């Protein structure tokens, strides 16, 4: 018996949806008696699965912009939207929820807690996520996830070490494991290789590349290093004099 074939219009791949967007974003800081305007009406759209680099000189406002996009700080004016959530409408606890459950952060100087082991540093986002009781109820499962992440980053033999017993590259891999602990939808990286020698920096970039290529991780990286930005990202934006534009 013949099966009636339904004719469908040629399937067009759906355009990737904008995931994270800011428009008209401005931010100033007071310096003594004067104000310096760091961001001037910045517009940016990041699609799901994209790896975007924001490049600019030191002091150009890259970290400021990343902090605003990552809901770590608030702008003076303009809008930011992530996956249909407008930051202006979020309460402080909703912003914390967003940072903890949707975003991961990697910083130039790692920001690991010196008194905690590698394993406990990696577990931190899940300690924030759950109440004390729920964390302890899930502890073995969460430890296993942290262990697997650290193992995938080549740190299986460093679980009990403290950050000051690790090399820079190892510290940054712990910071990446911590950032991935809660399966972030967007990974923000602020000069992730800025404190590392060239070779170690490339190892860190290959970790980010693998996440992006194999798992479709959305990444927003800021860096002063034009070459690195061009080599690594799908798209490079240049932040200059407070304005953001596609790099030529």
Ligand X SMILES: Nc1ncnc2c1ncn2[C@@H]1O[C@H](COP(=O)(O)OP(=O)(O)O)[C@@H](O)[C@H]1O
Indicate the residue among 20 and 65 with the shorter CB distance to ligand X. Answer: 65
Q: Which CB, 16 or 36, lies closer to ligand X?
A: 36
For 213, the token pair is 């290529």
Contact call for residue 38 and ligand X (CB under 6 A):
yes
Work out which of 21, 55, 61, 201 binds ligand X, going by CB under 6 A. Answer: 61
What is the C-alpha separation between 90 and 37, in angstroms, rounded?
Answer: 25
Quote the DSSP letter at residue 154: T
Smallest distance, Mg ion to C-beta of residue 75, A: 16
Minimum distance, C-beta of residue 107 to ligand X, in the bound complex (Å): 11
Binder of ligand X out of 42, 56, 125, 158 (CB under 6 A)? 56
User: Under the criterion CB under 5 A, does residue 223 sit at the interface with Mg ion?
Assistant: no
Collapsing DSSP states into helix, strand and coil, what is residue 136? helix
Helices (H), the chain: 62-69, 92-101, 118-129, 132-137, 139-152, 168-180, 198-215, 226-232
Contact with Mg ion (CB under 5 A) among 20, 44, 63, 175: 63
Nearer to ligand X, 61 or 70 (CB): 61
Q: How many residues bind ligand X (CB under 6 A)?
A: 11
Region of 15 (left: φ > 0; alpha: ψ -120 to 50; beta: rest) is beta
Q: How far is CA 86 from CA 25, 29, 68, 89, 243, in A?
A: 13, 23, 12, 6, 22
Q: Cβ of residue 58: shortest distance to ligand X, in angstroms?
A: 4
Return the closest-CA partner of residue 175 out of 160, 190, 197.
190
* Binding of ligand X by 42 (CB under 6 A): no
Burial of 146 (0-12, 13-18, 19+ CB in 10 A): buried
b vs e for 118-141, b when ≥16 Cβ sit within 10 Å of the residue's Cβ?
Answer: bbbbbbbbbeebeeeeeeeeeeee
> What's the burial of 161, exposed, middle or buried (CB within 10 Å: 0-12/13-18/19+)?
middle
122 touches Mg ion by CB under 5 A: no
Closest to Mg ion by CB, 63 or 218: 63
Distances (CA, A) of 177 to 120, 184, 186, 197: 11, 11, 14, 20
Site string for Mg ion, 8-47 (x = CB under 5 A): ----------------------------------------
Please, what is the minimum distance in Å from the beta carbon of residue 59 to ligand X? 4
Is the CB of 63 or the CB of 232 nearer to Mg ion? Answer: 63
Q: Is 58 in the site for ligand X (CB under 6 A)?
A: yes
Residue 59 found at the interface with ligand X (CB under 6 A):
yes
Under rule CB under 6 A, residue 108 binds ligand X = no
Choose the one of ligand X, Mg ion, none that binds residue 109, judging by a C-beta under 5 to 8 angstroms depending on kind. none
Q: Residues interacting with ligand X, by CB under 6 A?
A: 29, 36, 38, 56, 58-64
């Amino acid at each position: 018996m013949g099966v009636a074939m339904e004719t469908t219009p040629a399937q067009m791949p759906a355009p990737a949806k904008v995931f994270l967007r800011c428009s008209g974003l401005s931010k100033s800081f007071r310096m003594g008696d004067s104000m310096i305007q760091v961001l001037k009406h910045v517009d940016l759209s990041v699609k799901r699965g994209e790896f975007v680099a924001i490049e600019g000189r030191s002091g150009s406002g890259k970290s400021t912009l990343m902090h605003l996009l990552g809901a770590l700080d608030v702008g003076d004016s303009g809008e930011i939207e992530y996956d249909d959530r407008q930051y202006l409408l979020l309460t402080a606890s909703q912003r914390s929820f967003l940072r903890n459950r949707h975003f991961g952060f990697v910083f130039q100087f790692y920001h690991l807690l010196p008194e905690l082991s590698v394993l406990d540093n990696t577990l931190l986002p899940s300690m924030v996520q759950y109440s004390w009781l729920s964390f302890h109820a899930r502890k073995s499962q969460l430890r296993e996830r942290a262990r697997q992440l650290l193992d995938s980053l080549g740190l299986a033999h460093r679980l009990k070490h403290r950050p000051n017993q690790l090399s820079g590259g190892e510290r940054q891999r712990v910071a990446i494991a911590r950032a991935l602990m809660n399966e972030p939808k967007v990974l923000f990286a602020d000069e992730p290789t800025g404190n590392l020698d060239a070779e170690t920096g490339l190892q860190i970039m290959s970790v980010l590349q693998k996440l992006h290529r194999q798992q479709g991780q959305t990444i927003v990286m800021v860096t002063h290093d034009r070459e690195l930005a061009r080599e690594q990202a799908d798209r490079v934006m240049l932040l200059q004099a407070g304005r953001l534009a596609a790099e030529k």
